[in-house]
Amino acid sequence: MLVEFAMQHAWLVPLLPALAFVIIVFLTRPFRKLSAIVAVGSMAVACFFATLAAYGIFTNHEYIEKPLVYATRWFSLGLPGMPDLRVDVGVQLDPVSAMMLFMVSFIATFIFLYSIGYMEGDPGYSVFFSYLSLFGASMLLLVISSNLLQMFVAWELVGLCSYLLIGFFTHKISAREAAKKAFVTCRIADFGLLLGLLALQIVFGTLNLTELAEKIEHFEEYTTFGMLTLIAVLVFIGPIGKSGQFPLHVWLPDAMEGPTPVSALIHAATMVVAGVYLVGRTMFLFHEVPSAMQLVAVTGGFTALFAATIAITQREIKRILAYSTVSQLGYMMLALGVGSLTASMFHLWTHAFFKALMFLGAGSVLHALHHKADVWEMGGLYKKMPITTWTFVIGGLAIAGIPPFAGFWSKDEILVAALNGGHYVLFAMAAFTAFLTAFYMWRMIFLAFFGEENPANHPHESPWTMTLPLVVLSVGAIGAGWLGTPWYNIWGEWIKFGHPHHGPVNYGAMLLSIVLAAAGIYLAYMLYLKDAKKKRARKMAEWFGPVYRMLYNKYYIDELYLWFNHALVDGTARLFYLFDIYVVDGIVNGIGAFARLSGDGLRVFQSGRIQNYVLIFFLGVLAVAVLMAFTGPSAASLVLGGVK
Amino acid sequence: MMPFDPSALTLEMLTAVLGLGVLILGLIVPKGSRHGLGWLSLLGLLGITGVAVSMWGDSRELLNGMYLVDNYALFWKITFLLSAMLVILGCMRYVDEMGGQAEYYSTVIFATLGMMIMASAGDFITLYLGLELMTIAFIILVCFRKTDVKSVEAGIKYILLAGMSSAVLLYGLSLLYGLTGSVIMLEVSRVIAMQPVTPALILAVVMLVAGLGFKISAVPFHMWSPDVYEGAPTPVTSFLAMGSKAASFAILLRLFVAALPGVWENWTMVVAILAAITMIVGNLVAIPQTNVKRLLAYSSIAQAGYIMVGLVTASEAGIKGVMFYAFLYVFATVGAFTVAAYFYNVTGSDELKDYAGLSQRSPLMAAVMLVAMLSMAGIPPLAGFVGKFYLFKTIIDGYLWLAFIGLIMSMVSVYYYLRVALVMYRDEPVDPTPIKLPSPVAVTLIVAMVVTLVVGVYPGPLSEVVNNAAHSFFLH
C-alpha cells in the first residue's frame, strides 16, 4: 500500500529536498532551468509523500491518539555525572506533524513554482533554488523530528537558510543588514532555547518528545516546580525570536528585503510559525506551568495588538504584510497560551494559505511595477492585473475574517477559546485587533488595487507560473477553514491537546467578529476609496500627529535597541577591547611565540645523525626507567630497599 | 591439548598466498602489463576483507593461547586490510612510475600479513615474528626508490634504528620469560599476579615501552620517524604512518592489558607522561615545518600521543577509544598522504608553498586535505572530534591534567593544520593549470572524505562494532 509506505518512510519527505540541494550544488548549478526543475520536482514528490502520510494518519483513529514514531540511536555516550546520554533521531507522525508536513510541502511546492518566474534573469538563479531546497529540507526535518535536539538542529538550519535568503541580493546593503539583524536577533533567542533544552536533558535525561511528555506529567519525581517554570520560560524564549513576538519582532519586517517568494514561504507561511509549532509540540511542558501559559498568552495578545497598530501607518506593501504576519503570529501564541492547541494550529493552517497568497500577490505587483513598493503610488491595478487583484481580495477577506473565508473560522475559534478560558482582557485585545486587521488590510487593498490609476505605472499581468500558485492558494484561502466550523469541527477531533473541547456554538462571538471585520473594511472604504483625494485620511493623521509618527516609526523600538547597542554594548565592548588587545592578546601572542620558539628549539635535536638518535633513544629508556621507579606504588620500597 | 585447527588461520594463509602469488606473477607477466598487479592485489585484499568480515564473532585460541582469534584481532585485521587497500588504490600511478610493481605490492601484502599476525599474537614469539615480518617489509618499502639518495638514507636509518629497538624489545621479552617461565601471555599474567613487583619486572616493562614506543613513534623514541617519513616513497609513508602504528597499538594493548595487568599501577603514570610529551613535542615541532610530508610526520607523532591517552586507563572504554581513533585515523591519513603523493606525481614537490591555490587547481584534493586535517585537529562534526572525545572521556576522572594538555595541544595543532588550508585556499597558484585526477585516486580521496564525515556525524554503528571488539578482549 502506498499510504503504508509513505507513513513508514516519512523520512523521505525531508530527504528529497535535501538531495535536491546536493544535486543543484554539485551537479546542475551551471544549468539554470534544470536546477529549478530539480528543486520543484523534488518538492512536489515530497509533497506527494507528505499528503499520503497525512492521509494515513488522519484516517486512522489509532494514530491520532498515539503518535507513530520511528527512531534510531544517533549516538550514546557515558559521561561522568550523566551516566547515559542517549540521543535518538527519528520521525514522529501524529496529527500535528502530519498537518504541518502537508502544509509546508504543499505551499513550498507552489512557491518554488512561483519562483521560476519571479527570479527570472537573476544571476544567482540556481543558487536561489539550492537555498530554497535546503530550507525545505530543514523545515520538513524540524516538523517531523521526534526529538528536541534534532529539532534544534533543524531550527538552526532554517535560521541559516533564512539568513542566506534574506541577504540573497548581496549587492543591496539593506538586504545584508537585514540578514544580519535576523540572524543576530534569532541567535539571542536560540540561546535561551538551547539553555532550556540542556536543562530538560539534564533534569529528565531525555529529549524524546514522547518520553518527555510521560516524564513531565510526573515532574515532581525529577525536579521542583520552580525549575520547571524556569525551563518553560527558557524554552519559550526561542519561539519569541523565531516567531517574531514582542520584543524580538524587529527582524521580521526587515526580513522583507529578501526576494518575495522567500518572504511568502519563510517569513509568512512556514519558518516563522516554527516557534508556534515548538510551543505546540512542548504543550505538555507549558501545560504544567500556569504562569508560563499566562506568559505565552500575554505575549501573544500584546504582540497581536502592537503589530496591528504599527501596520495601520506603514506605506510599503510588504512591510504592511510583515506586520500583519507578526500580528497573526501573536494570535496563534495567544491561542496556545489560553490552552487551545486546536485553535492555534487551526489559525496556523489557514494563515499559511492566505498569507502566502497575499505575499505572492504582492510579489506579482512588485514584479509588474518594477519593485515600486509604496501603496500610495499604486492604484487601479485591478484593470491590468485581474488575477492578482481578485486573488488578493480573497486573501484580504480571509484575513479580515469575513465568512465563509478561511480566516474567519480560525479567528473565531481563538476568540471563543479566549472567552471560554475566562481571559476577558485578552479577548478584548484580540477582538480589537480583528477590527484593526480588517482596517489596515483593506486600506492597502483599496489604495493599491482600486481607485484611480497612477499614470506613471505600466502594470501587466504575470506569467502562468506566478498566477497558478495564486489561484491554487486562493482556493485554500477560501476553503481551508471549512475543516473546523463550529457546527462540524473535524479539526478539533484531529488536533488537540488532551480531550477535545466541545463548547456550544457561540453565536455572540461569531456575530461580534463579523461586525468588527465589516466595520474595519467599511472604515477603510470610507477613508481610502470613497474619498478619492484621501483628505479625511490626511486630516486624521494630522490630528493624531504624535501618535501617527510614533506608530509610523514602529514605537521607536529599533532606535531604542540602537541606542542601547551604542551606549551600553559598544561602551562595554570598548572596555573589553582594551583588555583584549593588551591582556588577552598579550597572553595569546606570548603562548604563540613560546610555541613557535620551542618548536624551533626542539627541532635542533632532529640533526639527522643516527648516533644522536640512538643516544636520545637510550636516554629515553633511562628516563622511563627512572620515572617508573619513582611513580609506581612500589616506588618507596624500591628506593628504600634497593634491588632485591 | 586442543587439536590444531588450521581454519583459524584462514586470513593469514590467504594473505600469504596472495603475496607469493603476486610476486610470482610479476616474474611471468611482461613488463608492460604489470600495472594489472595492483588491481589483482586490490581484489585479493578485498576478498580477504570479505572473509574477515564473515568471520566476525569467531573466538578461538590456537596452541594453548599462542594465537588468539577474537573480534579484537579481527577488527584490527580489517583495519589493516582496509588501509592496505586504500594505499594500493590511491597510489597505483605512483608505483607505476617507480617501477617494480610485483615486489612493491607483494611487500605491502607481506607487511599487512605481519600486522595481522601481531593482532592475533598470544605469545611473545608470535608477536616478535609478526613484528619483524612487518618491519622488514617496511624496510624494503622505505628504500624502494633505489636510486634516490633520500630514500636509501631513510632505509638505512630505519634498518639500524628498528634493529636497535627490536633488540630492546627482545631484551624486555626475555626478561619477562626469565621471571615467569612462560612466553604465553595469559600464562605470564597468571604468574605475575601471584608475584610481588620486582625491579627486574619494572625493567622489563621499561624495555617493552621503549621497544613498542619506537614503533608508534612516541616521544622520546620518535627521532627516526620524520627522517624516514620524508625519505620514503609517499605511499609507503602513509602505510607506515597508519598501518605500522595501528598494529603496534594493537600489540601494545594486548601486551599490557592481557599480559601485564599486575603492574598496571606502575606504568599508567608513565604512559600518561609519555602521552603528554608526545602530544606536546609532536604538535610544537610541526609548527615550523615547511615540507608537507615532514609536517604530516610530526602530526602523526602528535596523533600517536592522543591515542596513547586511551592506554592510560587500560579499561574497556580506553581500548574502545584506541580502536575507534585508530580506525578513523587510517582514513584521515590516507586522505592527506594520497593528496601529497599525487601532488608529488604532478609537480615533483612536497613543499608547502607549492600547494598555493590548490583549491583552484583541484577542488577535490584541497577539500580532502582540509577535511583530513580538520579531522586530525578534532573539529566537529568530523570523525576526529568523536575519536578524541572517546579517548579523553576515559581520563577525565583521574588524569584531568592530561585532558587539558590534549585540549591545548589540539588547539595548537589547528594553527599548522589551518596554515595548510590557508595556503591551499587563499593564495593564488603560481601555475594555475588544473590537476586532473585519475579515477582510482579520486575514489580513494572520496572514500577517505566520506568516511571521515559520516563517522563524525553518525558514529553509532562504528561505536557499536568497536564496543563489541573491545569487549571480546576480556573474554580470554
DSSP states of A541-608:
HHHTHHHHHHHHTGGGHHHHHHHHIIIIIIHHHHHHHHHIIIIIHHHHHHHHHHHHHHHHHHHTT--S
Distance (Å, rounded) from C-alpha B379 to C-alpha B384?
Answer: 7
Q: How far apart are CA B241 and CA B215, in angstroms?
A: 10
Residue among B171, B197, B202 with most chain A CBs within 10 A, to mutate? B202
The closest of B146, B135, B134, B138 to B99, measured between CA atoms, is B146
Q: Per the omega criterion (within 30 degrees of 0), is the bond before A486 cis?
A: no
Mean pLDDT of A513-528: 84
Of B168, B226, B267, the CB nearest to A606: B226
Please report the pLDDT score of residue A641 as a whole number.
44
Chain A residue numbers touching B305 (CB-CB < 8 A): none
Q: Is the pTM above the cut of 0.80?
A: no
Task: Answer yes or no: are the C-beta atoms of A176 and A170 closer than 8 Å.
Answer: yes
Q: What is the pLDDT of residue B150?
A: 86
Q: Which residues of B touch A631 (CB under 8 A)?
A: 266, 269-270, 273
Provide the 8-state DSSP code for A267.
I
What integer is the mean pLDDT of B40-47?
A: 94
Other beta carbons within 10 Å of A118: 25
Which among A333, A314, A371 has a CA at the least distance from the CA of A241? A333
Contact B285 A602 (CB under 8 A): yes
Cβ distance A355 to A416 under 8 Å? no
Please report residues of A whose CB lies closer than 8 A to that of B418.
Answer: none
What pLDDT sits at residue B304? 92
Contact B223 A616 (CB under 8 A): yes
In Å, how far is A600's CA from the nearest CA of chain B? Answer: 7
Of all residues in chain A, the percent with pLDDT exceeding 90 is 11
Other CB atoms within a 10 A radius of the CB of residue A547 amount to 12
3-state SS string for chain B: CCCCCHHHHHHHHHHHHHHHHHHHHHHHCCHHHCCHHHHHHHHHHHHHHHHHHHCCCCCEEEHHHCEEECHHHHHHHHHHHHHHHHHHHHCHHHHHHHCCHHHHHHHHHHHHHHHHHHHHECEHHHHHHHHHHHHHHHHHHHCCCCCCHHHHHHHHHHHHHHHHHHHHHHHHHHHHHHHHCCCEHHHHHHHHHHCCCCHHHHHHHHHHHHHHHHHCCCCCCCCHHHHHHHHCCHHHHHHHHHHHHHHHHHHHHHHHHHHCHHHHHHHHHHHHHHHHHHHHHHHHHHCCCCEHHHHHHHHHHHHHHHHHHHHHHCCHHHHHHHHHHHHHHHHHHHHHHHHHHHHHHHHCCCEHHHHCCHHHHCHHHHHHHHHHHHHHHCCCCCHHHHHHHHHHHCCCCCCHHHHHHHHHHHHHHHHHHHHHHHHHHCCCCCCCCCCCCCHHHHHHHHHHHHHHHHHHHCCHHHHHHHHHHHHHHHHC
Nearest to A74 among B199, B269, B458 (CB): B458
Instruction: Tell me if B460 and A75 make a contact (CB, 8 A cut-off).
Output: yes
> Shortest CB distance from A644 goes to which of B198, B207, B288?
B198
Q: A68 forms bridges with which residues in the sheet? A: A93
Pick among A589, A621, A630, A644 to test the B interface (most B CBs inside 10 A): A621
Inter-chain CB proximity B265 and A632 less than 8 Å: yes
pLDDT at A535 over 80: no
> Can you tell me the distance from the alpha carbon of A151 to that of A278, in angstroms, rounded to the nearest whole number?
9
Task: Check B206 against A644: CB less than 8 A apart.
Answer: no
State residue A642's pLDDT score: 42
Q: Do A624 and B274 touch (CB under 8 A)?
A: yes
Instruction: Give the confidence band of A640 by pLDDT, cuts at 50, 70, 90.
Output: very low
What is the chain A residue with the closest CA to B284?
Answer: A599
Q: Is the Cβ–Cβ distance between B308 and B271 less than 8 Å?
A: yes
Return the half-sphere exposure (C-beta side, CA atoms, 13 A cut-off) of residue B347.
22
Instruction: Write the DSSP symbol of residue A265.
Output: I
Residue A74 C-alpha, separation from nearest chain B C-alpha, in angstroms: 6
Count how many pairs of residues, chain A against chain B, have C-beta atoms within 8 Å. Answer: 115
Name the percent of chain B lying above pLDDT 90.
38
pLDDT, mean over chain A = 83
Q: How far apart, in whole angstroms, are the C-alpha atoms of residue A155 and residue A508?
A: 40
What's the rounded mean pLDDT across residues A161-178? 87
Task: Check whether B9 has a pLDDT greater than 50.
Answer: yes
Helix, coil or strand: residue A87: strand
Give the separation between CA B296 and CA B225, rounded to whole angstroms.
Answer: 11
Q: Examine the pLDDT at A643 and tell me if it is beyond 50.
A: no
- What's the pLDDT tens digit per position in A545-581? 777 777 777 777 777 887 877 777 778 888 888 887 7
Q: What is the pLDDT of residues A2-15, one digit of tens each?
A: 788 877 888 888 88
pLDDT of B62 reads 82
Give per-residue pLDDT as tens, A586-637. 777 777 777 777 777 777 777 778 888 888 888 888 888 888 777 665 554 4
* B117 has pLDDT over 50: yes
| A616 contacts in chain B (CB < 8 Å) | 220, 223
Residues 6+ apart with CB under 8 A from A244: A251, A252, A272, A275, A303, A325, A326, A329
pLDDT at residue A467 tops 60? yes
Strand duo A68-79 + B60-62: pairing: unpaired
Let me know: does A520 contact A438? Beta carbons within 8 Å: yes
Closest to A145 (Cα-Cα) out of A11, A306, A345:
A11
Query: Is residue A35 pLDDT above 50, yes or no?
Result: yes
Give me the residue from B198, B206, B393 closest to A79, CB to CB: B393
- What confidence score (pLDDT) does residue B438 get? 87
Contact: B458, A605; criterion CB under 8 Å:
no
Give per-residue pLDDT as tens, B371-384: 999 999 988 888 88
Rg over CA atoms, chain A: 29
More confident residue, A633 or B148: B148
pLDDT band at A195 (very low <50, low <70, confident <90, very high): very high
Q: Of the given ranges (A177-186, A501-510, B298-307), which has the lowest mean pLDDT?
A: A501-510
Confidence of residue B21 (pLDDT cuts 50, 70, 90): very high
pLDDT at A508: 81
> Quick one: cell of A367?
514584479
| Percentage of chain A exceeding pLDDT 70 | 95
B300 and B217 Cβ atoms separated by less than 8 Å: yes
Output the nine-digit C-alpha cell for A619: 636516554
Contact list, B267 vs chain A (CB under 8 Å):
628, 632
Mean pLDDT of B114-131: 92
> What digits encode the pLDDT tens for the residues B417-475?
998 999 998 888 888 888 888 888 999 999 999 999 998 888 888 888 888 888 887 76
Residue numbers in B near A600 (CB within 8 A): 288
Mean pLDDT of B50-77: 88
Compute the nearest-CA separation of B1 from chain A (Å): 37
Q: Span A128-141, mean pLDDT?
A: 91
More confident call, B316 vs B42: B42
Q: Alpha-carbon distance B53 to B414, whole Å? A: 36
**Lookup result for grid cell 509546508:** A104
Which among B202, B317, B460 has CB closest to A629? B202
| Cα–Cα separations (whole angstroms), residue B209 to A122, B179, B214 | 65, 17, 8
Cβ–Cβ < 8 Å for A333, A295? no
Contact B49, B78 (CB under 8 A): yes
A624 min Cα distance to partner chain B (Å): 6
Residue-wise pLDDT tens digits, A479-512: 888 887 777 777 777 777 776 666 677 788 888 8
Residues B118-134, buried b or exposed e (16+ Cβ, 10 A)?
bbbbbbbebbbebbbbb
Summarize the confidence of residues A53-82 as an average pLDDT: 75
Lowest-pLDDT range of A255-259, A582-586, B66-70: A582-586
Identify the contact set of chain A against chain B, taking CB-CB distances under 8 A: 72-80, 592, 595-596, 598-600, 602-603, 605-606, 608, 610, 612-614, 616-617, 619-621, 623-625, 627-629, 631-634, 638, 643-644
First to last CA, chain A: 81
Classify each residue of B354-374 as buried b or exposed e, where b means 16 or more C-beta atoms within 10 Å of its C-beta.
bbbbbbbbbebbbbbbbbbbb
Contact B221 A620 (CB under 8 A): yes
For residue A410, the one-letter residue type is S
List the single residue in B196, B220, B270 with the smallest CB-CB distance to A616.
B220
- Interval A146-165 mean pLDDT: 90
Round to whole Å and give the CA distance between B334 and B142. 17
Task: Label residue A79 left, alpha or beta by phi (over 0 means left) and psi (-120 to 50 means alpha).
Answer: beta
Chain B environment of A598 (Cβ under 8 Å): 284
pLDDT tens digit sequence for A253-271: 888 888 888 888 888 888 8
For residue B1, what pLDDT is reported?
A: 52
User: Is A530 or B139 the better-scoring residue by pLDDT?
Assistant: B139
Give per-residue burial for B325-348: e unless 16+ CB within 10 Å, then b.
bbbbbbbbbbbbbbbbbbbbbbee
> Nearest-CA distance from A561 to chain B in Å?
35
A90 forms beta bridges with: A71
* Cβ atoms within 10 Å of A61's Cβ, excluding its own: 10
> How far apart, in Å, are the Cα atoms of B222 and each of A481, B161, B334, B406, B437?
75, 10, 21, 18, 34
Q: What is the largest CA-CA distance in chain A?
A: 114
